[in-house]
Amino acid sequence: HLFDQDDLRRGCVNFLRTGLLYTDLITTVSPTYAREIRTDAYGMGLDPLLRARSDRLAGILNGVDYDE
């Protein structure tokens, strides 16, 4: 019941989409990338879902800040 019935009838299931749909928090490698994947250019068809879940999408900047 976790999968879209139309997808199951066509014989295709997108496990990444399902994971994004049911996870508590979505993280990416940077705040910039978190913004980019919500666009049509970078979303690879998942951008509508990522925009809908943008309250649960966070970018975590890689690296260490030695000044703090």
pLDDT of 68 = 77
Q: Which residues of 30-58 are buried (b: 16+ CB within 10 A; e: fewer)?
A: eeeebebbbeeeeeeebbebbeebeeebe
- Residue 57 or 16, more confident: 57
- Residue 17 or 39, more confident: 39
pLDDT at 15 over 80: yes
Please state the rounded mean pLDDT for residues 3-12. Answer: 66
